[in-house]
A and B are shown apart, each in its own frame.
Chain A
Amino acid sequence: MTDVERQTELPDRLRSPLFRLMASWEFLLLIVAVLIFFLNTQASPYFLDPWNLSDATYNFTEKAIIAFAMALVIIAGEIDLSVASIIALVSTCMGYAVQLGADTVTLIAVAVVIGAACGAFNGILVAGLGLPSIVVTIGTLSLFRGIAYIVLGDQAYSGYPESFAFFGQGYVWWVITVEMVLFAVFALIFYVLLHRTSFGRSVIAIGNNPTASVFSGIRVARVKFMLFMLTGVMSAVAAICLTSRLGSTRPSIAVGWELEIVTMVVLGGVNILGGSGTIPGVVIAAIVMGMVTFGLGLLNVPGIVMSIFVGLLLIAVIALPIIIRRLRQRLSG
């Protein structure tokens, strides 16, 4: 009798959490991060200076804030390529509000409302009408920035209030910037959202199998709409930081960021086809990309090489898992 019971009683987990950690992509990425850190210390004696390191974080904090939301969108099987254009539109609206005499609190409210509206627009088209998100967001990528260009032309807005500089230029304590704190806080929030809530569970389920998710009672369209809203709002947060750091708005602000953000997410181990990925992975990937950028900067490598690097990195991280699987099959079969 007990034998039968033992047979049907399944263990919860086959492998210990420690084993799964060691075998994970995130762990591999962490080793890469340490390696690059070491290489950077060798590349330049200035790297280890605390103020230098602090400056270096600006290379990734703003992008990472969007990448957290983008990770959820990609895990759900969609993509949002309009994020950098949302930054441009949000920044432009903030600049316009400044001309009308808005204070810092109003600016933030304007940013969040515009970001949410952009996200809602994407969300309605994708979740409401069922259009493919890659097409919708390529369209809005052009649309949102186009509006910014029409409003601004070749002008620039500046004259942001002094208190507004806090977000992109402020320090919380010693070398710890406001953006670093925002990065950490949002990392934690998105970690909980994805890995500890039923909303996050729905996101993963939808990315794996949208049809089965509908049959399982998940309100798929609603979840997708909320994800695009969320990405819009996070783009607004990044726009606040970036505008505050630069102190001015040009229509070309954050051009090409969508590519770096998607690369960051995929490097973090999120499956570009949806269904799997973790926030810790994205956090480490953000730091890795930031450090590489900074290291190359220390070596005086020109910006265009960085662009080549990002392109190659994106292809490599998408191709690597597939190549490894093929090799394994060839070896075993």
Chain B
Amino acid sequence: MLKPAPSMNPASLSLNRISKVFPGVRALSSVSIKLYPGQVTALVGENGAGKSTLVKVLTGIYQPDEGNIELDGVTQTFASPIDAARAGITAIHQETVLFDELSIAENIFIGHAPRNRFGLIDWRTMNRRAAELLDRIGATVNPATLLRDLGIANKHLVAIARALSVDASVVIMDEPTAALSHKEIEELYQLVEQLKVAGKAILFISHKFDEIFRIADRYSVFRDGELVGEGMIDQTSSGKLVELMVGRSVDSVFPPRTNELGEEIMRVDGFSHPTEFEDISFTLRRGEILGFYGLVGAGRSELMQALFGVTRPSAGSLQMGVEKIVIDSPADAIARGLVYVPEDRGRQGAITGLPIVDNVALPSLSQTSKNGFVRMAREFALARQYTRRLELKAAALDQNVAQLSGGNQQKVVIAKWLATRPTVIILDEPTKGIDIGSKAAVHAFMRELASQGLAVIMVSSEIPEIIGMADRVIVMREGRAVGAFERDELSPEALVVAAAGIEDERVA
């Protein structure tokens, strides 16, 4: 054993057989994790593997359905985030949860500010102690500065000072380096070292393998809400971690492609956005399913929404068929035969307070109406036709979408866009959060659409889905296209490596 001493200590935090179920999804199933004082445990897993849910359980935002949390040998129940904070668990989130309009000192001591004998805030003591804490972590900022005047890196430092001020024994860091520059990341690593020396137990969530190997002592890998592997970091390799993350079972349930690809139907050239993505170019053929893979925040949805006319690109051109076109609004896009099925079903996809028939007819109003007057019979006919094709399970077409299950809501959303008879359909995370049965139905249907000559763009963060469905895959990272794979070049490892930006030699 290389590091016998720390692991001899009793765990400061034990999660015992934690389960958390949301309607239709088992986010965590019987997960057990131990965190040790003075050690960094890296939590790795794909998007949707259950990492965020675990953090929310730990910080009292969610209550687990089963299992318990033990802190220094005492079983705890966190009814609220305040309970978790009092027990000594603190979290530094990707986007720091701080108050822009308050000073640094106020942010550090909010909820437990030192008081004077009149019960009012003792500003002098608070500022002095804040200065001490900031000094300890090497931050050279004035505690009286307003938080909004700080950059993201300094905000992180404030969050860390806050963690130290409550004397937390457990510190959770949820992708803390995602928004930091190279130099800032180095400083953060040093802080983590300091926290280790101070005996804190640290849970470190990251998609970046280089930093996991740099600062973590232990690892835990999540997949589909289950713990699939754990151990000491120096006894594993990034290759093994990737294998655990994606699993070997890219199942054969995906329908195979039988159709030939048709002519080119869409060409995107140099699409750019001031902040979200840059210089994206690709082509799309009839009958093709083009996959877009990447981590959350890689700019995939933003790219698709710009193509669909929700936002404006700052540069680049779009060609459909032989014609160069400019799309100013979703209405334009729909008229051109380009539709986008959004990821956020409840907010962007469906109007859940309205009946199925109204939802299906909404983007097709210009076809079903005559001189601006709606024709209900046509709307019902349209809804009947497409809900039958998608095998929608519902009581009646005038039922509100809100009453349907997630999978059936997704079918309504897809039906709604198909009813406009598009030539290109963009599906953004089409099976996110829906049950297995509906997933299979959506996959089969996608394949059927492609074989009928539709061109499909599928944005997905699920590797099995990308590999099972896509004819070609473009990988995006930080707003750029960083890889393109033909079907025969696809492997889970290659996708993860490209998406996370791992250097190749580590994996091999």
Taking Cβ atoms with an 8 Å cutoff, the residues of A that contact B are 8-14, 192, 196-202, 204-205, 208-209, 211-219, 275-276
Contact = CB atoms under 8 A, between A and B. Distances in A.
A215 B396 contact: no
A9 B353 contact: no
B396 A214 contact: no
Given A14-B399, A198-B374, A212-B348, A8 B369 contact: no
Contacts of B353: 208-209, 275-276
B109 to A, nearest CB: 34
B347 A211 contact: yes
A197 B330 contact: no
Given A198-B365, A201-B358, A218-B331, A9 B395 contact: no
A212 B349 contact: yes
10 contacts: A9-B384, A198-B369, A205-B362, A213-B351, A215-B310, A215-B330, A217-B334, A217-B335, A218-B362, A276-B353
Nearest to A209: B351
Interface in B309-352: 310, 329-331, 333-335, 340, 342, 347-352
B351 A10 contact: no
B397 A11 contact: yes
Given A14-B398, A211-B347, 12 more contacts: A8-B388, A9-B384, A10-B356, A10-B395, A205-B362, A209-B351, A209-B352, A212-B349, A215-B310, A216-B351, A217-B329, A276-B353
A10 B310 contact: no
A199 B374 CA distance: 9
Contact of B374 (A11, A201, A214): A201
A132 to B, nearest CB: 19
B330 A202 contact: no
B205 interface: no
A197 B398 contact: no
B387 A10 contact: yes
A212 B342 CA distance: 9
Interface in B341-379: 342, 347-354, 356-358, 361-363, 365-366, 369, 372-374
B102 interface: no
B373 A197 contact: yes
Contacts of B384: 9-10, 12
Contacts of A209: 347, 350-353
Interface string B369-409: 10011100000100010011001101111110000000000
B416 interface: yes
Contacts of A13: 396-398
B310 A214 contact: yes
Contacts of B340: 215
Contacts of A11: 395-397
A219 B335 CA distance: 13
Interface size classification for chain B: 35 or more
B329 A219 contact: yes
Contacts of B361: 201
Contacts of A215: 308, 310, 330, 340, 342, 348-349
Q: Name which of B308, B365, B380, B396 has the most chain A CB atoms within 10 A of its CB.
A: B365
Contact of A197 (B348, B374, B388, B416): B374
A198 B379 CA distance: 11
Contacts of B342: 215
Contacts of A202: 365
A102 B443 CA distance: 70
Contacts of A14: 395-396, 398-399
The CB with the most chain B CB atoms within 10 A, among A10, A12, A213, is that of A10
Contacts of A213: 351, 362
Interface string B37-51: 000000000000000
A12 B373 contact: no
Please name the 8 residue pairs, one residue from A and one from B, whose CB atoms are nearest each other, closest first: A14-B396, A217-B331, A198-B365, A217-B334, A198-B369, A208-B353, A209-B351, A217-B330
A235 to B, nearest CB: 24
A204 B388 contact: no
Contacts of A12: 357, 380, 384, 396-398
A51 to B, nearest CB: 40
A307 to B, nearest CB: 34
Interface centre among B373, B391, B395 (most CB of A within 10 A): B373
A212 B397 CA distance: 19
Given A10-B392, A196-B374, A205 B331 contact: no
Contact of B358 (A192, A205, A211, A218): A205
A209 B362 CA distance: 12
Contacts of B394: 10
Given A8-B392, A12-B397, A14-B398, A208 B373 contact: no
B486 to A, nearest CB: 32
Contact of B396 (A10, A192, A200, A205): A10
Contacts of A276: 353
Contacts of B387: 8, 10
A185 B369 CA distance: 23
A216 B372 contact: no
A213 B373 CA distance: 19
Nearest to A200: B374
Nearest to A195: B374
B365 A211 contact: no
Contacts of B416: 216
Contacts of B330: 214-217
A215 to B, nearest CB: 5
Contacts of B358: 201, 204-205
A302 B416 CA distance: 56
Contacts of A219: 329, 331
Contact of A10 (B350, B373, B397): B397
Nearest to A13: B398
B388 A9 contact: yes
Contacts of A198: 365-366, 369, 372-374
A10 B369 CA distance: 22
A11 B365 CA distance: 21
Interface in B420-462: none
Contacts of A204: 354, 358
A197 B379 CA distance: 13
B438 to A, nearest CB: 14
B395 A8 contact: no
Contacts of A8: 387-388, 391-392
B321 to A, nearest CB: 20
A213 B351 CA distance: 8
Contact of A212 (B351, B374, B395): B351
A89 B394 CA distance: 52
